[in-house]
Amino acid sequence: MIDLLEPDHLSIFKRYHQAFKRFSGDGIIDIDKRVKHKFDFLIDKLEDVLPCLNGYVPPFRQNAYAIVFIKNGIGEKSIGEFTFPIRNNTLFVVPSRVISSSIYHSLRSSGYMLLFDINFFLKTELPQHCIVNRKIFKNTTQPYLELNETQAGKITAMFEKMLHEQESDVTEKLEMMAINILELVMYGDRLFSGANLTGNKKIHHPLVDKFTNLLEFNYTTKRSVREYAEMLNLHPNHLNFLLKKHNGLNAKQIINNRIITESKYLLSNSSFIIKEVASHLGFDDPNNFSTFFHKCTGDSPNAYRISCPLFNTPYFKHHLQD
């Protein structure tokens, strides 16, 4: 583990880069296990952060939430099951524990990055649910949006205000930062809803969120609907009904999608052989994994890997070997 208890603004990103290189063999790096870090919130300019990361962020997950605004830049980003191009005026969000990865084609990209720990809000009078229940942090929501100039200007002003507050030494600083973060999250929620990305989503049911959390910690060992229904004290049919109503998919489809999402990251972003990918996902027999992958995607694991643009780029192969 890389130790970092009291980070300055950039040291944590340097340690992230060290962890990305040192623990590349993990396939998908769990930052909370690999970097001993502690912070309530962290706001930085992207142009300062990217050189610390060398422009490449391999697949990783962490407890912290992230909101990133790209003013100028080009590259590729993956968040959960979504992969999209990084362009000027792109806003994207990464919920807690959701896998993400990035390639920036130029270190001259500019913008802002916010990381925050949800427990930070326990230190203020703002309840956690003001943040975690927002639509933009739900796994089923498309996590990116291209903004117009007016929207980009408002987002820029919010980040600049947080940067100023972060550097200040005034009373009630934590409370002000919590309010500023909440303002950003609420405005982001409004933008996504206004773009009809989340406006038609049904209100999330607490049992659906509990299922999502259980799945995140058990998908490599539990793959049956009945197992999750029992943990939730529900009949499997009722669990399917709730998930179909709120997410549009039944429980088995969601379980399979979670495994496929992880497998695609490992196939396209790591040097793991198929047997190692299968083992990472809890399959004792790689043939069973290959059959499962083909049934869900229509491709064999090898065919998917060969066709993946990211895996075959010289830029990625260079970083994979570092």
Express each pLDDT in 236-277 by its tens digit: 999 999 999 888 899 999 999 999 999 999 998 777 899 999
Cα separation values, 106 from 9, 62, 315, Å: 21, 25, 11
- The residue among 62, 70, 163 whose CA lies nearest residue 117 is 62
Cα(128)–Cα(121) distance, integer angstroms: 6
Express each pLDDT in 108-144 by its tens digit: 899 999 999 888 877 777 766 677 667 777 766 689 9
Q: Which residue has the higher pLDDT, 306 or 29?
A: 29
Look at the block and give the residue holding tokens 């192969």: 317
Which domains are assigned to the chain?
2-194 (2.60.120.280), 206-321 (1.10.10.60)
The confidence band for 204, taking pLDDT boundaries of 50, 70 and 90, is: low
Cα(68)–Cα(143) distance, integer angstroms: 11
Q: What is the pLDDT of residue 169?
A: 79
The answer on pLDDT for 201 being more than 60 is no
Tokens of 53: 């990361």
| CB-count burial class (<10 Å; 0-12, 13-18, 19+) for 233 | exposed
Express each pLDDT in 149-166 by its tens digit: 999 999 999 999 999 988
Tokens of 68: 């990133």
Bridge-based pairing state of the strands 29-30 and 2-3: unpaired
Q: What is the pLDDT of residue 295?
A: 95
Q: Which backbone phi and psi does 36 adopt, to 5 degrees? A: -85, 90
Cα separation values, 314 from 48, 109, 244, 310, Å: 25, 20, 41, 9
Cα(97)–Cα(317) distance, integer angstroms: 26
Average pLDDT, the chain: 85
Cα(150)–Cα(194) distance, integer angstroms: 14
The answer on pLDDT for 317 being more than 80 is no
| Beta carbons of 91 and 71 less than 8 angstroms apart | no
Q: What is the pLDDT of residue 26?
A: 87
The answer on pLDDT for 49 being more than 60 is yes
